[in-house]
């Protein structure tokens, strides 16, 4: 009987040993998977860092380009303002010169426009009343 117990015990020990070996293998496999995942996530983080650096560089270039365009537009607006002021000044002086020239060389036909004479007709409203009032004052 003890032989039988020892033989069964041997099988149990072998099963325990196999289970422990499989558990060790599973633990090693899990460790390998964890290490692989850490490595891959580190690679992903590195790639994201590269992409972030590229975006930062592109954004900086775009910002420099937009600042350059803004400065050019400001300079063009400044130049247009000066040219516009010069044109308005030139036209103002030219208009003033033409007016003075015309005043000297072209005689004025009617320097003053006389006021129209007052009418004493019946068709003009208020004229009859004014006429009566004027007659009343003279008498």
Q: How far apart are CA 33 and CA 47, in angstroms?
A: 21
Tokens of 16: 């325990």
Q: What angle do CA 119, 121, 127 make, to 5 degrees?
A: 70
pLDDT at residue 115 in the model: 73
Q: What are phi and psi of 117, to 5 degrees?
A: -70, 150
pLDDT at residue 134 in the model: 47
pLDDT tens track of the chain, all 139 residues?
Answer: 666 665 666 666 676 776 777 777 888 888 889 989 989 888 888 998 898 888 888 888 888 888 888 989 999 999 999 999 999 999 999 988 888 888 777 766 656 767 777 776 566 555 555 554 444 444 4
pLDDT at residue 87 in the model: 95
pLDDT at residue 138 in the model: 45
């Amino acid at each position: 009987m003890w032989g039988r117990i020892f033989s069964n015990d041997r099988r149990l020990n072998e099963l325990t040993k196999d289970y422990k070996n499989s558990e060790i293998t599973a633990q090693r496999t899990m460790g390998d998977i964890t290490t692989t995942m850490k490595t891959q996530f580190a690679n992903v983080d590195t790639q994201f860092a590269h992409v972030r650096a590229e975006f930062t560089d592109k954004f900086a270039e775009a910002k420099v380009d937009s600042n350059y365009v803004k400065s050019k537009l400001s300079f063009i607006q400044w130049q247009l303002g000066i040219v516009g002021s010069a044109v308005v000044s030139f036209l103002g002086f030219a208009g003033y010169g033409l007016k003075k020239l015309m005043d000297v060389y072209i005689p004025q036909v009617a320097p003053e426009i006389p006021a129209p004479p007052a009418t004493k007709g019946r068709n003009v409203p208020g004229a009859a009343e004014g006429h009566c009032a004027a007659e009343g004052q003279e008498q």
